[in-house]
Amino acid sequence: MRSDSIKKGLERTPHRALLYATGIPKSEMKKPFIGVATSFTDIIPGHISMNELGRFIEKGIHTGGGYPFFFGIPGICDGIAMGHKGMKYSLPSRELIADIIECIVEAHQFDGIVLLTNCDKITPGMLMAAARLDIPAIVLTAGPMLAGYYKGQRRNLTTDTFEAVGKFKKGLLTEQDIQALELCACPTAGSCQGMYTANTMACITEALGMSLPGVGATPAVMSEKRRLAFETGVKIVELVKNRITARKILTKEAFYNAITVDMALGGSTNTVLHIKAIANEAGIELPLEIFDEVSRKTPHIVNIIPSGEHYMEDLYRAGGIPAVLHRLKDKIYSNPTVSGIDIKEIARKAQIFDEDVVRPIEKAYHKEGGVAILKGNLAPDGAVVKQTAVSPKMLKFEGTARCFDSEEDAMKAILDGKIKEGDVIVIRYEGPSGGPGMREMLSPTSAITGMGLNESVALITDGRFSGGTRGPCIGHVSPEAAQGGPIALLKDGDRILIDIPKRKLEVKLSESELKKRAKEWKPPKPKIKKGYLLRYARMVSSADKGAILE
């Protein structure tokens, strides 16, 4: 066992003394040492239930014949960090999480690790660590939140708080409505109720084979989640004993399966960044184009908010990710999972309990999957759009550039009524290095939707979007503005063409004009001049590479 290096032999006498100081009984010293990385915190709704889940994981590890050691991992709530300086830290925290887990696991030589996670950057950060360390590992995502209710309708974070800002500005909601929605939109523990980044990553983790069947969609408040936590604890000891390490599961086939499920779900565009980053740690090259290739041949069969009307709790009752896998069983590859059951076998045995939530292939919501990769003279290295959240009339759009060098400036213009039909809002210098941190743009996109402009206005950015974004919003434009990408050369009044079916993102300027502007362009001064974000900006790659540190 790995842990023998800290507990066996005469020279490890002081190490054993320190271990005994933790209270470990002598009888337990021969058992596998299991690290439990928990991102419990009081400030993230998706994580407040983790202490209880941790108890069940602990019971499972003891039952399985291991000995658990818990350690903490930081977490950021993207919703609370949204729309201000705090969002600059969200994506960079993914790298910190991976590094922290690496440090703790290697320093203490755990034999295996349980990753207790839930929200946006925390889950991919933990999976990156598992792939990097290549030891036995298993993930438990804490589960989605249940819907709220107000005036007889189900309510959720994005539609009923972020988009409510724009609706209030348009006079469509009263102050009383706003106050009521604040209290009821997020009624329970759990990750936000739709197919936003946290829940998309939970579903993808299950599709990768890194969590037990049913984990991804089971709500946080269900007793079933506690049973899954117990089974997760038992299973990690089995993985250690059978020497099943993370990279034996995180194969190229596993990533293909995960992308296929992602496309079928119409998941968050952030998964493009995260899947590429996890694959990079697993030593697997995933070109950006593979997302588009898979999307073109994968039907969109599950339509959860924000693009649809269903909630994560509906997917849970319909059979969860196993039900989705069953529908896609002819499109996925055979691959091992942490459960010990091949993913194809899980798919074959699964049942579908609601044919509308998990639709048959021939009745898909869309013939293609959730994400499209666009290219053109405005994004030579690619850009990403959630095409299943775009109305048919906006799939092809030509408009006039309105350029802003920060999210705040764009948001002010939107709320002040300065954006008109036919505009293409350009938010730049918000990329991985230019932001720095590649902020999500849920506040401006939600304001656009709330003000009724999402079928007449488009938005492009070298930043990124929350999974809660809907409408013609194109992110991850690469190269980013801070690196002199074409998005930096745009001026107010330029004509921009968006053609999602043909995968085009272009500015109607000649090559000579773009070259002329490029010669005149000067790199901006760094927005952040100290601390972690300064170091991050110097090391981070472009979005098309997954915004990994190089």
Q: How confident is the model at residue 441 (pLDDT cuts 50, 70, 90)?
A: confident
Same domain? For 175 and 301 the reply is no
Same domain? For 336 and 435 the reply is no
Residue 165 lies in a domain: yes
Same domain? For 484 and 534 the reply is yes
Q: How confident is the model at residue 452 (pLDDT cuts 50, 70, 90)?
A: confident
Q: In the prediction, which pLDDT does 149 show?
A: 96
Q: What is the mean pLDDT of the chain?
A: 96
The token pair at 274 is 């995260």
Residue 362 lies in a domain: no
Residue 338 lies in a domain: yes
Same domain? For 479 and 526 the reply is yes
- CA–CA separation, 504 and 378 (whole Å): 9
**Under 8 Å between Cβ of 192 and 156:** yes
- The position carrying tokens 């969590």 is 211
Same domain? For 161 and 194 the reply is no
Strands 67-72 and 379-386: unpaired
Q: How confident is the model at residue 489 (pLDDT cuts 50, 70, 90)?
A: very high
AA identity, residue 208: L
Same domain? For 383 and 470 the reply is yes
- The position carrying tokens 């997020």 is 186
Which candidate, 137, 384, 157, places its Cα nearest to that of 282?
137
What are the C-alpha distances in Å from 47 to residues 44, 93, 217, 469? 5, 16, 15, 22
Q: In the prediction, which pLDDT does 166 show?
A: 86
For residue 137, the cross-strand partners are: 113
- CA–CA separation, 126 and 94 (whole Å): 8
User: At residue 443, does pLDDT exceed 90?
Assistant: no
The token pair at 361 is 């292939």
Q: How confident is the model at residue 282 (pLDDT cuts 50, 70, 90)?
A: very high
Where is the binding site for Mg(2+), in residues?
78, 120-121, 440
**Under 8 Å between Cβ of 306 and 269:** no
Where is the binding site, in residues?
78, 120-121, 440
Structural domain count, the chain: 4
Residue 416 lies in a domain: yes
Which candidate, 432, 379, 464, places its Cα nearest to that of 539?
432
**Under 8 Å between Cβ of 35 and 115:** no
When pLDDT is averaged across residues 257-282 and rounded to a whole number, the result is 97
Residue 366 lies in a domain: no
Query: What does DSSP assign to residue 145?
Result: P
**Under 8 Å between Cβ of 124 and 47:** no
43: containing domain: 31-146+188-349
Q: How confident is the model at residue 239 (pLDDT cuts 50, 70, 90)?
A: very high
Q: In the prediction, which pLDDT does 197 show?
A: 94
- CA–CA separation, 97 and 104 (whole Å): 11
The predicted-structure confidence for 365-396, as pLDDT tens digits, reads as follows 999 999 999 999 999 999 999 999 999 999 99
- CA–CA separation, 332 and 325 (whole Å): 8
The token pair at 117 is 């996670």
Q: In the prediction, which pLDDT does 442 show?
A: 82
What are the C-alpha distances in Å from 537 to residues 91, 460, 528? 12, 21, 9
- Which residues have a catalytic role annotated? 466
Same domain? For 495 and 481 the reply is yes
- CA–CA separation, 417 and 449 (whole Å): 13
Number of H helices, E strands in the chain: 22, 14
pTM of the complete model: 0.95
Same domain? For 96 and 239 the reply is yes
What are the C-alpha distances in Å from 35 to residues 22, 30, 213, 296? 14, 15, 22, 40
- CA–CA separation, 191 and 367 (whole Å): 28
When pLDDT is averaged across residues 254-264 and rounded to a whole number, the result is 98
Kindly report the CA angle at 311 between 127 and 49, in degrees rounded to 5?
A: 50
Residue 490 lies in a domain: yes
**Coil/strand/helix, residue 118:** coil
Residue 239 lies in a domain: yes
When pLDDT is averaged across residues 41-62 and rounded to a whole number, the result is 98
The token pair at 287 is 């070109």
**Under 8 Å between Cβ of 222 and 289:** no
AA identity, residue 297: K
CATH number reported for the structural domain that contains residue 131 in this entry: 3.40.50.2300
Same domain? For 105 and 235 the reply is yes
What are the C-alpha distances in Å from 199 to residues 267, 294, 371, 460? 8, 20, 16, 24
- CA–CA separation, 78 and 146 (whole Å): 18
- CA–CA separation, 207 and 321 (whole Å): 7
**Under 8 Å between Cβ of 286 and 172:** no
Strands 112-117 and 137-141: parallel
Which candidate, 22, 201, 219, places its Cα nearest to that of 122?
201
**Coil/strand/helix, residue 457:** coil
The predicted-structure confidence for 120-136, as pLDDT tens digits, reads as follows 999 999 999 999 999 99
AA identity, residue 209: G
Q: CB under 8 Å to 428, separation ≥6 — which residues?
A: 403, 404, 405, 434, 461, 462, 477, 480, 481, 487, 488, 490
Of 165, 186, 207, the residue that ends a domain is: 186
Residue 169 lies in a domain: yes
What are the C-alpha distances in Å from 113 to residues 238, 253, 312, 516? 12, 23, 27, 54
Q: In the prediction, which pLDDT does 214 show?
A: 98
Which candidate, 112, 105, 18, places its Cα nearest to that of 57?
112
Q: In the prediction, which pLDDT does 233 show?
A: 98
Same domain? For 426 and 498 the reply is yes
Query: What does DSSP assign to residue 86?
Result: G
What are the C-alpha distances in Å from 366 to residues 266, 296, 307, 456, 468? 10, 10, 12, 22, 19
The predicted-structure confidence for 122-173, as pLDDT tens digits, reads as follows 999 999 999 999 999 999 999 999 999 999 999 999 889 988 888 898 899 9
Same domain? For 21 and 78 the reply is no
Same domain? For 232 and 117 the reply is yes
